[in-house]
Amino acid sequence: MPLRLRSRLPVLGLLLAAALPSLQAAPVTLTSPVERTMLVELYTSEGCSSCPPADRWLSGLRDDPRLWREMVPVAFHVDYWDYIGWPDRFATAEHGQRQRAYADDGRIGTVYTPGFVIDGHEWRGWFQGREPESGGRSAVGVLALELDGGKAAVRFDAGAEIGGKVDLHLVLLGFDLASEVRSGENAGRTLQHDFVVLDYQRRSLARAGDGYQTRTEWRRSVPASGRYAVAAWVTPRGGLEPLQAVGGWLPTDAF
């Protein structure tokens, strides 16, 4: 369902105090390999009749042996189809703005759903039944995320000089989510979702010593869900292409 819009190394230390709601479980440490981990983004909507097959495909990545080590999938629900009859409860304007930023930068041809982006570039392989492939798993450095008592410490040991400033992207992901759609293009269907972005933070990082750091809090409450995960990636300041990504499951008693 297309919607055409006009386009308008040293060590990096990142410290993030993130108020993950009621996170009381034991500390969790997630660490990427030194090779680049592929970031797979799906732009989707419960108001789009073409999206459920893409949602099901993304859910299938839960069982992919490459999950978290070689790929980090995330699903951004967009709100630009809400007007045709069904407001997607997981959608935000910010998610659509992120997709439009890819179009404005020439990284995708147009804004549409379902739409895939891999490592900051449009990927249409899903429409041909292909498996996702990154541009190459070169050694880019290790990104580590530590969660403890509602706070998160993120550290990126880059494999080469980056130059310039760095942004951190941090998302909370929900799984086993279901919606009974009562109107719009998917009326009468029960839609299942995984890897749903429930909270998205992008922070410009201030240099501190030999690295960068920031502090923030989650802004949203989370719906009842069978499972949660967290993912993080870093990009050059103001950029879209990830330098490295990391992700993993949160304990089942995290919320």
pLDDT tens-digit series, residues 29-41: 999 999 999 999 9
114 cis-preceded (ω within 30 degrees of 0): yes
pLDDT digits (tens, 9 = 90+) for 3-18: 433 333 344 444 444 4
The answer to whether residue 254 sits within a structural domain is: no
The answer to whether residue 103 sits within a structural domain is: yes
Q: Which residues contact 237 (CB under 8 A, 6 or more apart)?
A: 164, 165, 166, 167, 204
The answer to whether residue 135 sits within a structural domain is: yes
- At 104, list the tokens: 């404005």
Query: Taking residues 72-76, what's their average pLDDT?
Result: 98
The answer to whether residue 198 sits within a structural domain is: yes
Smallest Cα–Cα separation from 199: which of 219, 227, 180, 179?
Answer: 219
- Could you tell me which residue, 40 or 147, shows the higher pLDDT? 40
Q: Which domain holds residue 22?
A: 2-249
The answer to whether residue 40 sits within a structural domain is: yes
Query: Taking residues 121-136, what's their average pLDDT?
Result: 88
Query: Taking residues 22-30, what's their average pLDDT?
Result: 70
**85-111 burial code (b ≥16 CB/10 A, e <16):** ebebebbbeebbebbbebbbeebbeeb
The answer to whether residue 15 sits within a structural domain is: yes
The answer to whether residue 194 sits within a structural domain is: yes
The answer to whether residue 255 sits within a structural domain is: no
| Average pLDDT, rounded, for the chain | 84
pTM of the model: 0.88
Residue 16's pLDDT is what?
45
**Can you list the alpha helix ranges (DSSP code H) found in the chain?**
51-60, 93-104
Residue 137, class by beta-carbon neighbours within 10 Å (0-12 exposed, 13-18 middle, 19+ buried)?
middle
The count of domains in the chain is 1
pLDDT digits (tens, 9 = 90+) for 166-223: 898 999 999 999 999 999 999 999 999 999 999 998 887 666 555 555 655 544 556 6
